[in-house]
Amino acid sequence: MAMKKILVIYTGGTIGMSKTGTNGALIPVEFEQLYKLIPELNDLPASIDFHSWEQPIDSTEMTPELWVKLATQIYENYNHYNGFVVLHGSDTMAFTASALSFMLRNLNKPIIFTGSQLPINIIRTDGKENLLTSIELALLEDPDGTPAIRESVIYFEYKLYRGNRTYKHSSESFKAYSSPNYPLLGEAGLEITLNHPYLMPAPVNPLEFQPQIDSNILNISLFPGINFKWIRKVLENSAELKALILLTYGSGNAPKDPELGILLKSFRDRNIPVINISQCKSGSVKMGKYEVSRWLMDLDVISGYDMTREAAITKTMNILPQIKNPNDFRKMFQTSISGELTVK
């Protein structure tokens, strides 16, 4: 049997940095050094190719254009590898993992995102285990010999998450990620265990590559005292804005401010979708449960159900260019593409 092939792509981030020099500054590690830093890579039952972006980035500098670059790189190598591991900075990893779940649909191979909170050459680094286990996860098979993981996922600190259900909750803990609205896909302890009922099933249709992106959207988080009059003056005549995501209170509630009402009516008349995502990390938008959300329904605001902010933003960017009829946006947004939402 031919040895499986895994492509590891380094986009940037702490995991590929080395603390060196008199001032302790972090500099990128040459990937040839990884086998010296992590000799266990030689023990994995796989042929592992490493590719580093020519200009690795801090993930704070991630852009939609770079999502397209990464998705295209995986798509062009899709038939040459059994799985993919993406080394990525932790700050925007959930955005990128979500974006790729919409750009690369009907996956039948794993795309596993990982990174670290400490550089790879630090004694206590979490990067070594994260990388080794991510590759092991990419090699897992079902009894029929097909890949056990067929989606875009995040592996971090012994936990495996669906990428488009995840957000970063800590900048200091090794346990940096959470997925409160969807169960863990797996855990790595003495053995690696997968939560099979919650993994994406084998796709019926072939891989679909949808790399298009429209980033002309805005995300506004509500807070007591927010000046809707000022926001309305800025937004109501914007020719570029294609969609608005409102981060609302609780189960999807917003104050019945007349200025917000005028703005939402203007968006409805201009066929600009407005999406309702809760600021709460756990739970779902339930429009109509209270009067302060029912009025949003009357203005055709779209429920994002239990989607994360990261998934809502990247999905909106991805499906906007696909919409031929403005009325199709709601249906496409509220239909699960890659397991990103639960319709209730």
**Residues assigned a catalytic role:** 14
**Residue 201, CA atoms < 13 Å, CB-side half-sphere:** 3
Q: Rounded CA gap, 186 and 76, in Å?
A: 28
Q: Are 320 and 312 in contact (CB under 8 A)?
A: no
Q: Rounded CA gap, 20 and 210, in Å?
A: 41
Q: Are 115 and 156 in contact (CB under 8 A)?
A: yes
Q: Rounded CA gap, 159 and 134, in Å?
A: 10
End-to-end CA distance of the chain: 46
Q: Are 278 and 167 in contact (CB under 8 A)?
A: no
Annotate 254-279 with b (16+ C-beta within 10 A) or e (fewer): beebebbbebbeebeeeebbbbbbbe
